[in-house]
Amino acid sequence: MFSPKDKQDKLIRATDLDALSCRDSINKKGHLPVEDPYIAMLVKSYEDNLRWCQGYTGLSAPRTLRNVFGETKQPLINRGTYLRSKVIFEIIHSFIAEFRNESQIISLGSGSDTKLFSILELNHDITVHEYDYPESAKIKKLAILKHDKLRHTLRVEEGEDQTATMPTIQSKKDFEIYEPDLHTRNYHLHGQDLRDVNNLDITGVDTNKPTLVLSECALCYLSAHDYEKVVNFWSTIGHNLTGFLIYEPITLGDSFGEVMLRNLQGRGLHLPTSEAYPTIDSRIKFLTSMGLENLYLTDMGVVGGYEATHAAKNNPWISELEMKRLNGIERIDEHEELALLLRHYCLIYGESKKENQSLSFNSSSGLNPSSNTASGSNAHLKPVFTGISRWDWSRNVKDCSLD
């Protein structure tokens, strides 16, 4: 039976197809400084396996893929996708460099995103965890197992995972019973609902490493209560720095934001947190209420160079030379329209120094009760990510009233 919850989850998963098609577009057009070979592998896995997913058939799946990938993306969409991909990649890379590769990246709602494959290719000593719905994880796992380059990058052959062999999927039943998780030496794919924090599998998570938790348009589909529940879960399991890097829409309470919400609602999608906290200032209050600190926030208009702040002139997110390269590929004429679009997406970084003193980590069996945990008295010894301040952020907790 296809329940209302199943229908809603299918609609949210469909946004991952949209995002993949946008990344595929900028990859093919040459917007990315280095071509991403993994994007085509995920596209192929969707072509092979979407028909097995709940709510799709052998007829509807190809039609959906043709509609999504057959559409030529507007230059505005390509530029926005590029800016998002570029700056998030750079922040992750800077985080890893600051902590000398002894770090951990946890991606919530990772879907078909491939940037962490490229990150692992460049940084062999980090650990990566990706979480998403089981069906989305299965499609990614099948892509990994099918392609030798991905198997090599993720060190599949070095792992002891008995499910790391390419299966034969010939029916919806085969796909339904297929195990979504994959665990290798430094890559872990978890097919789970992010909201179910009481049963979340954290196999392979090292709570002693500096950790960056990434959410790109994932938490925004949760209620404010579930959003807070997920952030609190990841805030309290570690004994080291836990940073959160979040990219998501903001409505700003204006007419453009209202149109954006109506368009999403027309597709059956809702952004509860964006509706409740429509501006960057209100978002700061929401995040600080969860205990996040060292907050840095900006909208993508600043990232794209459409808001001339003093810091932006001295240290822009995108260099003049890079902008010249981009304009050579695809020139933007609708600057006002692009600036308006970008201002309705925000980029957030914040840190948690909370920790759950009743738990410690055992890599073979997960979190277990222990009395030998880090005490609250040394919580102040947790490091901070100093490199985050080198970019131009339009807001932080020091210059925004929290009254």
DSSP-assigned beta bridge partners for residue 108 = 131, 215
Q: Which residue has the higher pLDDT, 72 or 308?
A: 72
Check whether 326 is labelled as a binding-site residue: no
Half-sphere exposure at residue 374, Cβ-oriented, CA atoms within 13 angstroms: 20
Q: What is the pLDDT of residue 362?
A: 35
Q: For residue 100, is pLDDT > 80?
A: yes
For the record, the structure tokens of 336 come out as 């006002």
Check whether 216 is labelled as a binding-site residue: yes
User: What single-letter DSSP state applies at residue 203?
Assistant: T
**pLDDT more than 70, % of the chain:** 89
Mean pLDDT for the chain? 89
Q: Characterize 338-350 residue by residue with b for buried, 16 or more Cβ atoms within 10 angstroms of its Cβ, and e for exposed.
A: bbbbbbbbbbbbb
Per DSSP, the residues of 306-350 read -S--HHHHHS-SS-HHHHHHHHHHS----HHHHHHHHHTEEEEEE
The span from the CA of 73 to the CA of 65, in Å, is 14
User: What single-letter DSSP state applies at residue 379?
Assistant: G
Q: For residue 119, is pLDDT > 90?
A: yes
SS3 string, 53-66, reads CCCCCCCHHHHHHH
Pairing of strands 104-108, 127-132: parallel
Give the fold, CATH level 3, of 74-354+392-397: Rossmann fold (3.40.50)
Q: What is the pLDDT of residue 165?
A: 83
**Number of residues written out for the chain:** 403
Q: How confident is the model at residue 314 (pLDDT cuts 50, 70, 90)?
A: low
Q: Which residue has the higher pLDDT, 325 or 367?
A: 325
Q: Which of 135-149, 191-205, 229-243, 303-317 has the lowest mean pLDDT?
A: 303-317
Closest CA to 392 of 293, 252, 296, 323: 296
Q: What is the pLDDT of residue 158?
A: 77
Q: What is the pLDDT of residue 7?
A: 85
| pLDDT tens-digit readout, 354-387 | 765 444 333 333 443 332 333 344 445 678 999 9
For 147, the 3-state DSSP assignment is coil
Closest CA to 50 of 11, 1, 14, 12: 14
pTM, two decimals, is 0.91
Closest CA to 233 of 213, 260, 253, 252: 213
> Environment class of residue 324 by beta-carbon count within 10 Å: exposed (0-12), middle (13-18) or buried (19+)?
exposed
Domain boundaries defined on the chain: 74-354+392-397
Helices 38-49, 4-29: axis angle to 10 degrees equals 140
For the record, the structure tokens of 170 come out as 């010939």
Contact 20, 43 (CB under 8 A): yes
| pLDDT tens-digit readout, 128-178 | 999 999 999 999 999 999 999 999 999 998 777 766 788 999 999 999 999
Q: What is the pLDDT of residue 233?
A: 96
The span from the CA of 36 to the CA of 120, in Å, is 13
Q: Which residues contact 50 (CB under 8 A, 6 or more apart)?
A: 56, 61, 64, 65, 139
Contact 240, 208 (CB under 8 A): yes
Contact 16, 112 (CB under 8 A): yes
Helix (H) or strand (E) holding 4: helix 4-29
| pLDDT tens-digit readout, 177-212 | 999 999 999 999 999 999 999 999 999 999 999 999
Q: What's the rounded mean pLDDT across residues 312-321?
A: 80
Q: For residue 22, is pLDDT > 60?
A: yes
Q: For residue 326, is pLDDT > 80?
A: yes
CA dist 234 → 120, 292, 398 (Å): 22, 11, 24
The span from the CA of 13 to the CA of 218, in Å, is 10
Helices assigned H by DSSP within 104-171 = 115-122, 134-146, 148-153
Q: How confident is the model at residue 395 (pLDDT cuts 50, 70, 90)?
A: confident
- The number of angstroms, rounded, from the C-alpha of 209 to the middle of its chain's C-alpha atoms is 19
For 299, the 3-state DSSP assignment is strand
Check whether 109 is labelled as a binding-site residue: yes
| pLDDT tens-digit readout, 272-295 | 999 999 999 999 999 999 999 999
Cα Rg of the chain, angstroms: 21
